[in-house]
Structure 1
Amino acid sequence: MPFAHPVPPLDRARVPRSPVDEELLRSRVERTLENFLDRQQAVLATVSPELGPLTGTVRALLNSGGKRLRPAFCYWGWRGAGGDPDEDGAVAACSALELLQASALVHDDLIDRSDTRRGVPSVHRRFEALHRERGWHGDGAQFGAASAVLLGDLLLAWCDELLWGSGLSLAAVRRGKPVFDLMRTEVMAGQYLDLLEPATAGLAGAEREGAIERARTVVHYKAAKYTVERPLQIGGLLAGADAALTAAYGAFGLPLGEAFQLRDDLLGVFGDPEVTGKPAGDDLREGKRTLLVAETLAECSASDGRLLNGLLGASELSEHEVGLLRAAIVRSGAPERIEQRITVLRAEALSALDDAPLVEPEARRVLRRLAGAATARRS
């Protein structure tokens, strides 16, 4: 059943109405999220005043500098299918993706044992610190981990609530909901495969020659579909997109989403912490078996292969050891091959966009700009 209290319209006197301004869209999404969290905070306050840190932590996470890419692709999927640019219900539905992303980040940081996210303490570390500061009994790290699981689950429930309560018609939400649900299944399946790869590396049955294809599968389901393809398709379906446009969004979104993740993988190893919001070389400490790592292992020397397999995933890696791993990756030529793949994938995506039967021509221009922003070098 739809949520009984639809998202109220934004105060139009306080929000300029240019439909092509990405900063305007960001402000509309952020206002929607603020309004939604205000209501959820009131609900939680009726349960207990002790629940204040939950919404406080969500606000801190949502306000810590996310790119809002998923709502942007969803909105321009809506626009490309002829959706009304001034429909606040569409913005609310797109904003639900930001709650889903927040849920994924909370759980992902716990899985990866990350201390920071976007330059601030990760959620499980925030709750661990709260436990310590208040002198509570028990294991603070376990309390932080358990709190993060619960908060991630709460955000997952809230993304559904915001979608149903967006103010769009029941028919519109029902058109988009099956792909919304499929996307959530895909991203969790991709997350499990991402966990599986380092756990099985080097064991019988985990063939080295299949590592590149397995890494691409993880990229597709954990990131590419979830970041670009499915948000575009959800937005289009909410606006009544036909099968041809839905397929065109897939042809554009999947290669672009892969290129976006490959750029992120390069930043995870070589990026500036001021840009990434994560410590330098964090992906190496977490042992992520990305396509960059798979490409490295496929072409590196035997000694470099032993170095990578011996150090990758060691949580106490020193800066010197991070430097050794980076040097081995560079020697393999993998960064150049990944850059070339990003270029090819971006071109494939833009070619598909040129052929897409968009109803609103402005959407094509903005989607081209989003493609550039999603894959640009940032270090």
Structure 2
Amino acid sequence: MTTQGRLPRAAAPQEVAPQIQRAGMLDRVEERLRGLLNDEHRRWRTADTRGAGLIESLAELVAVGVDRVRPVIVLTGYLAAGGDPEAPEPVDAAAALELLDTCTLIRSDVRDNAALRRGIPTLHVSRAAEHERNGWAGEARRFGESTATLAGDLALALADRLTARLPAPAWHIWHELRLERTVGTYAHEAMTAEYLDDPWPGRCISGCDRGCTAGWYALRHPLRLGAALADRPDLDAAYDAYARHLHAAWRLRGFLDGGPEYDWDAELLREILLEREERGIAERLIRELVDRASRTAATTALATGWCEELTAFAARMAAEHG
């Protein structure tokens, strides 16, 4: 009797590395943003060529946004929670966060009268220059600022369209994020106007509250949104703790290194407060905060490989920049 050779045993499918999973979803976010803006441009180019110009301005600014910080964070929260990489909802949510971020930047540029954003002229500056070149009626500066405000409105309208069909728990977090970002930005501007804004990130180190736009909007809400999209409400407390520790480390690093939010008053405060010994204490505090964030990740039930990725992410966020 002849014996039939056994078929080779199928290899177990390899787990896709977290970075590759996220990169694949980020590619889909790019496609979603590009497709959404292209569709709107085609629609308005036929209906109203002037309206199409506003969409062109927004699309140009979105296209040069290479970091995609908010999409990275929401997709990290989603995939770490075990979410399906092929699902469309987290891609829509990540694209919506990028549009919200773009709106925030446009309006911040108007308030600060900034000339450049992401290596190109800010929207209000370029539109004011267009007004002046063409000799149009009215004041060029006001036209530029009004156009920038409308571009921000357009970005918000498109972001809300993308999130309209999110599951109810995720949509509520999105709505909360939108409101707190707006109110928190006003509170920050009011404190600055009243000479009450303190560049030392003491509030962040002791624990961000609801008025901290950077901590809640930049890290906590996107992580929670990702968990909600993956149907993991049990991760709320862990993501909250991780975000608070990491955000404090990131803000302290920004203060020490003189990031874009830390202008001359922060530089003066650094010169007054931070001798070599004090800077060493601050560096140790950063390491301690990163360790706390890492311990939180290590003791949380996350998808394979994502505890390590959240630990590495924390280290990158708080790393010293030379």
Which stretch shifts more, 79-88 or 339-348? 339-348
- 1:191 corresponds to which letter in structure 2? T
Helix, strand or coil for the counterpart of 2:321?
coil
Q: Distance in 1 between matches of 2:131 and 2:99?
A: 25
CA drift of 1:219 comes to 9.6
Q: 1-side partners of 2:62 and 2:35: how far apart?
A: 13
Deviation at 1:84, TM superposition (A): 0.7
**Tell me, what secondary structure is at the counterpart of 2:320?**
coil
SS in structure 1 of the partner of residue 28 of structure 2: helix
Deviations 1:26-49 (A, max 9, x none): 322211110111122123324410
Q: Which residue of 2 aligns with 1:235?
A: 226
Contact 1:74 1:235 in 2 (8 A): yes
What is the rounded CA distance, in whole Å, between the counterparts of 2:24 and 2:246 in structure 1? 23
Partner SS for 1:377: coil
| Aligned residues of 1:189 and 1:221 also touching (Cα < 8 A) | no
Distance 1:185 1:375, change over 3 A: same
For 1:97-108, what aligned pairs fall within 5 Å after superposition?
97-108=97-108
- Tell me whether 1:332 sits opposite 2:273 in the alignment: yes
CA distances 1:99-130 after superposition (whole Å, capped 9, x unpaired): 11111111111122211112221221121122
Q: CA contact under 8 A between 1:190 and 1:218: conserved in structure 2?
A: no
What is the alpha-carbon distance in structure 2 between the residues aligned to residue 341 and residue 149 of structure 1? 40
Q: Does residue 251 of structure 1 match 2:245? A: no
Q: TM-score, normalised by structure 1?
A: 0.70
Contact 1:73-1:367 within 8 A present in 2 as well: no
Listed as ranges, the matches of 1:177-188 within 5 Å are 177-188=171-182
Unaligned stretches of 5+ residues in structure 1: 1-16, 165-169, 277-281, 288-292, 294-325
Q: Which residue is equivalent to 1:306? A: none
Q: Distance in 2 between matches of 1:62 and 1:104?
A: 12
- 1:116–1:262 CA distance, 2 compared to 1 (3 A): farther
Question: Which residue is equivalent to 1:129?
Answer: 129
Counterpart of 2:286 in structure 1 is 342
The share of aligned pairs that are identical, in percent, is 27
Q: Summarize the alignment of residues 168-183 of structure 1 with structure 2, pairs less than 5 Å apart.
A: 170=165, 173-183=167-177
Superposed, 1:287-302 pairs within 5 Å as 293=266
SS at match of 1:76: helix
Letter of the structure 2 residue corresponding to residue 350 of structure 1: S
Aligned to 2:142: 142
Residues 210-256 of structure 1, C-alpha deviation per residue, up to 9 Å, x if partnerless? 995499858962211111111111111012113x3121111112222
Deviation of the 1:339 alpha carbon: 4.2
Distance verdict in 2 for CA 1:220–1:258, change over 3 Å: farther
Aligned to 2:151: 151
In structure 2, the CA distance between the partners of 1:101 and 1:139, relative to structure 1 (3 Å rule), is: same
For residue 212 of structure 2, the aligned residue among 218, 221, 229 is: 221
- Cα distance 1:341–1:108, how it changes in 2: closer, same or farther (>3 A)? farther
What is the SS of the residue equivalent to 1:85? coil
1:288-327 paired onto structure 2 within 5 Å: 293=266, 326=267
1:13 matched residue in structure 2: none
Structure 2 segments unaligned to the other structure (5+ residues): 1-15
Pick from 260, 278, 282 the counterpart of residue 250 of structure 2. Answer: 260
Distance 1:260 1:43 in 2: 42
After superposition, residues 13-162 of structure 1 pair within 5 angstroms as: 20-21=19-20, 22-162=22-162
Aligned-residue CA RMSD in angstroms? 3.0
